[in-house]
Structure 1
Amino acid sequence: MTTSEALRCYVYIQLPGSLDVVTCGLFEQKDGVGRFVYGRSYRSNPLAVELEKFDLPLGSNTFETARLGGIFGALRDSSPDAWGRTVIERQLGRVDLTEVDFLLHSPEDRAGALSFGVDTAPPAPIHQFNKVLHLDVLMREAARIEQGLAPSTPQLDSLIQPGSSLGGARPKNVVEDDEGLWVAKFPARNDRWNNAVVEAGMLRLAQECGLRAAFGRVLSVAGQDVLLVRRFDRERVDGGGYLRHRMVSALTVLRADENPLDRSKWSYLLLADELKRWVAHPDEDMRELFSRMVFNALISNVDDHPRNHALIAPGTAWNLSPAYDLTPAPQASIERDLAMEVGSAKNRRANRTNLLSECGRFRLSRDEASRLIDQMKTTVSTRWRAVVTECGGTEADLNAISRAFDYEGFEYTP
C-alpha cells in the first residue's frame, strides 16, 4: 500500500438492548488521517447512539482525526491487543497488516458493541464460541503461539481466536459455559508466580475493599491454573445470543497517546474531570475511581495505564466499567510509581500524601478520602494473604508477591 491509498471499512453496531446489528457509518484512513461519517439511515434510527460522546457525537458531520495514526479511539478500542495481533498475523501469514486489516479480521468476541466489514450491510452474527471444556486444547495451542511454533492442525488453529482486548496482552481466548462468556487467561512463559490465582485474588480483594470489580474464578486445566474473567460487556438473553454493550477505554476518554513515552494525559485527575462530562452518575464514579487509584497503589499495580480503565454503556448512558487487570508488581524499592498521575506533585508517586493532595478533584473531602484510604489499607494488609490462598495460591506464590504490599513508601511524606 502506498501512502496515497485509502483504507476503508463499514462500521456496524449492535443497538442497545437489542440483538439487531446495523450499519452505523463508514471509516476511511489515508495518509495518517482518519475520517468517519454516520449513515443517514442510522441517524434516523430512534435507537441510534454515538460511538463515543465527544469525538464522534451522533450527527451528519464528517469527523476527522490524526490521533493514533488516524484511528478514532472508539474504533481502536475494538481492535485486538498485542496477543490478538500475534494470533491474526499467524493465521493470515502476514506481518504487514494495517489497523483496518486488524479491525476486519477480529472475530465477534472483540470488546464492545462494534464490528467491521467491507459490505454496506452487516453479515449475520455468529453466536458460536469455544466452550470451557475445550480449555486444555486452547491452552496448548496458545503455548505453541508463544513459542513461535506452527499450529498442531488447521482445525485447531481455527479455534484460537484473538480474544477480547480486555485482559491485557497475555495469552487468552473467549470461552462460553452455561453462565455466559468468559475471558480465559492462560499461563505465560515468563510468569514469575501463578498468575491465575494471584489475579483472581486481587479481583476478590478489590471487591472486599468495596470496589466494583470484574468476577473471576480459577479452573485447573491439565495440571495448570487458568483464570476465567466474566465478560461485563456482554449480557446473555433468553433464547440465545448476547447483548453487546458499547465500551471505550480511558485512553479514548482522555484523548491520550498510548505510547508510554508520552504520558502527558495519563492522569487519574484528568480522568476524574472527564467523568464529570461523560457519565450519568459522576459523584459515584469519581469516588470509585479514587478508590481504584488507592487500591492500585496499595497492591503495587503499576500496570494501571489508560487502556486498563474503561467506560461502558449497557444502554444510552455511560458509566465506569468494573475494574479489571489488577495485578501486583513486587519491587525492591520502598516507593512506587503508578502508570498515571495521581496528585498535585504532578507525578505518579503512590504515597498517601500524593493520593490525598487532589481528593477534591474526585469530589471527596480530605476526611472522606483519608477514611477510604485507612479502610482499604487495613483490608489489603490483613486480607491479601488469605484471599490469594483461598484462590489456590501457595506459600511460594505468597512469598513471590509479598513485596507488593505494606511497602514503607506508602506512608512516606516528602
Structure 2
Amino acid sequence: MEVVTCGRFQQQGEVGRFVYGRSYLANPRAVELEKFELPLRPGTFETARLGGIFGSLRDASPDAWGRRVIERQLERVALSEVDFLLNSPEDRAGALSFGTSPTPPAPVHRFNKVLRLDLLLEEARRVEQELPLSGVQVSDLVNPGSSMGGARPKNVVEDEEGLWVAKFPARGDRWNNAAVEGGMLRLARECGLKAAVSKRTHVAGQDVLLVRRFDRQRVDGGYHRHRMVSALTVLRADEHPQDRSKWSYILLADELKRWVGDPDEDLRELFSRMVFNALISNVDDHPRNHALIAAGTAWNLSPAYDLTPSPQASLERHLAMEVGSAQHRRATRLNLLSECGRFRLSKEAANHLIDTMKATVTARWRGAIKDCGGTDADVTAVERAFDSEGFEYTHYSV
C-alpha cells in the first residue's frame, strides 16, 4: 500500500486550480481524480463552480456530522471547505488525502475498535447535545468515512472482518434506526440490488447499525483505498435548491454511459434502485446518496447505501431526484416507466422488474425489519412508507 502525491490544489477567492504533479503523471499506475473535470494530463485545471472546489475534492470533505465535530474541535464556525479538508481525519471516504506539504501523509494503521463503541456512543451523545466531553479525544469522533452521509452521529470502527461505519441513535429518532435501515439494506439485496453489507450490534442498551465500508479492501498490513465520487459530482450539480434541475436519475443514467465500464449492468442497477426508493418512500435519495467507485482503473456504481423509508400522510410520493418525464419526481409506475429506454430497458422488461420488486417489498418489508431486531412498534411507525395506493395512479390533478 503506497501513498503518493498526485497534485496541487489552490483556491483564490471563488476560483480553484489543480495541476497534476510531473512525477505522478509519469507513474504508470496513475489514475484520474475524476473522469472529465480532472482527466489525467498536464496543465492547470480551473473551476469557478462550487465556490472553486472540484467535485471530487468536495466529495472527500466530511459530512454534516463530521463538520459539526471539527467546528467543536477547533472552536470555530464558518470554516471554509479547505479548512474542513485539512482538519478532517486522514482516512476519509475515497482515496484522497490532503496536506500543506508535498510529502504525503502516512497511511492510517489504527482504528477505533468495535469494543469501544460504548465510549464512542457516549461521546457522540455529548457532542450532539453540546455537553462537555468526558475525556475521550474529540478528534476520535470525527467519522473518517462519512463524506457520503448526513447528520446522524457516526464513527468508523474496525473488527476482524474489516472497517464499518457505525451509525448511532440520534435525538428525535421515531423508531429503531439500526433495525429499520438495516432491514432496508437486507430487503434491497432480496430485491436483487447491490447493497452495502450491514449488521446490528447492541451497545449500552441501544442498537447501533454497522455498515461495511465498500471503499476499502483489506490487505496484509492495512487497506487499499478505492476512489469514490458522488452522483452530485457526476451530474456536475450543487446541493443548492436552485441547482435541483440536475438532480435526476435520467441524467445520471446518461452519465453512466460515459463513466462506467459496463453501462448495461449499472443502468439496470440504477433503474432498480430508483424503483426500490419509490416503493419504500426513500425520499432522501439525493445525489450525495449515490456514488461511483473505482477499485482499479474503471468506475462503477457503488453499492447502495442510506436506504431509509419516510412515512407519508399523502398518497402522493416525491423522490429527491427526477425519475421520469411524465411526472418529474413523482414516484409512480407511470413515471418510472416513462424514460425506461434511457436505462436500456424495454417497457416489458421494466414492468416485469417493477412487478417483481413490488411483490417482494410488499411481502417482506415487515419481516426484513424484524429480522434486523425491529419490534412491532417499529413496523407500525414506518408502515405508511410502504404499499402506497398512489404508486399505481396514472394521473394527478394540478
TM-score (norm: length of structure 2): 0.98
Residues 138-158 of structure 1 show CA distances to partners (whole Å, capped at 9, x for unaligned) of: 0010011110112112x4424
The answer as to 2:374 corresponding to 1:393 is: yes
Between the aligned residues of both structures, percent identity stands at: 76
The 2-side partners of 1:135 and 1:378 are apart by: 37
- For the residue of structure 2 that corresponds to 1:262, the secondary structure is helix
The aligned counterpart of 2:341 is: 360
User: How far apart, CA to CA, are the structure 1 residues paired with 2:40 and 2:162?
Assistant: 31
- Aligned partners of 1:167 and 1:185 also within 8 Å: no
Find the aligned partners of 1:280 and 1:151 in 2 and give their Cα distance.
Answer: 47
The whole-number CA distance in structure 2 between the counterparts of 1:166 and 1:255 is 16
For 2:276, what is the secondary structure of its paired residue?
helix
Q: 1:384: how far off? A: 0.3
Question: Any idea what SS the aligned residue of 1:137 has?
Answer: helix
Tell me which residue corresponds to 1:413. Answer: 394
Task: Give the match's secondary structure for 1:247.
Answer: strand
Q: Distance in 1 between matches of 2:258 and 2:74?
A: 41
2:121 is the counterpart of 1:131: no
Whether 2:71 is the aligned partner of 1:89: answer yes
Mapping of residues 14-29 of structure 1, within 5 Å: 19-29=1-11
> Hey, what does 1:263 align to over in structure 2?
244
* Corresponding residue to 2:197 among 201, 215, 233: 215
Secondary structure of the corresponding residue to residue 382 of structure 1:
helix
1:158 and 1:276 map into 2 onto residues whose CA distance is 40
With the length of structure 1 as denominator, give the TM-score of the two structures: 0.94
Residue among 43, 52, 61 paired with 2:43: 61
The 5 Å alignment of 1:162-311 reads 162-164=143-145, 165-238=147-220, 240-311=221-292
Match of 1:329 in 2: 310
* In structure 2, distance between residues paired with 1:407 and 1:111: 35
Between 94-103 and 71-80, report the one with greater CA deviation: 94-103
User: Cα distance, 1:346 vs. partner?
Assistant: 5.6
User: Distance in 2 between the 1:187 and 1:283 partners?
Assistant: 38
| Cα separation, 2, equivalents of 1:194 and 1:377 | 24
Q: For 2:243 and 2:28, how far apart are their aligned partners in 1? A: 40
1:90-142: CA deviations, max 9, x gaps? 11111132111110111123100000001011122221100000000000100
Partner residue in 2 for 1:3: none
> Counterparts of 2:318 and 2:139 in 1: how far apart (Å)?
41
Shift of 1:163: 3.4
- Tell me which residue corresponds to 1:105: 87
1:75 aligned residue: 57
**1:210-269, Cα deviation, whole Å (9 max, x unpaired):** 00000011000000000000000001002x200000000000000011113431100000
Q: Does the CA-based 8 Å contact 1:167-1:183 persist in structure 2? A: no
Q: Which of structure 1's runs of 4+ aligned residues deviate more than 3 A? A: none
Letter in 1 for 2:87: H
Instruction: Give the letter for the 2:74 counterpart.
Output: L
The aligned residue for residue 118 of structure 1 is: 100
C-alpha distance after superposition, 1:139-193 (max 9, x if no partner): 010011110112112x442421233223322100000001000000000001111
* Unaligned stretches of 5+ residues in structure 1: 1-18
Give how far 1:61 is off: 1.8
1:1-52 deviation line (CA, Å, top 9, x unaligned): xxxxxxxxxxxxxxxxxx1110000001111111100001100000000000
Contact 1:196/1:226, CA 8 A, preserved across alignment? yes
Q: Post-superposition shift, 1:344?
A: 1.1
Distance across 2 between alignment mates of 1:258 and 1:209: 30
Q: Secondary structure at the match of 2:9?
A: strand
1:348 maps to amino acid: R
Provide the secondary structure at the position in 1 that maps to 2:210. Answer: strand
1:41 aligns with 2:23: yes
Letter in 1 for 2:287: P
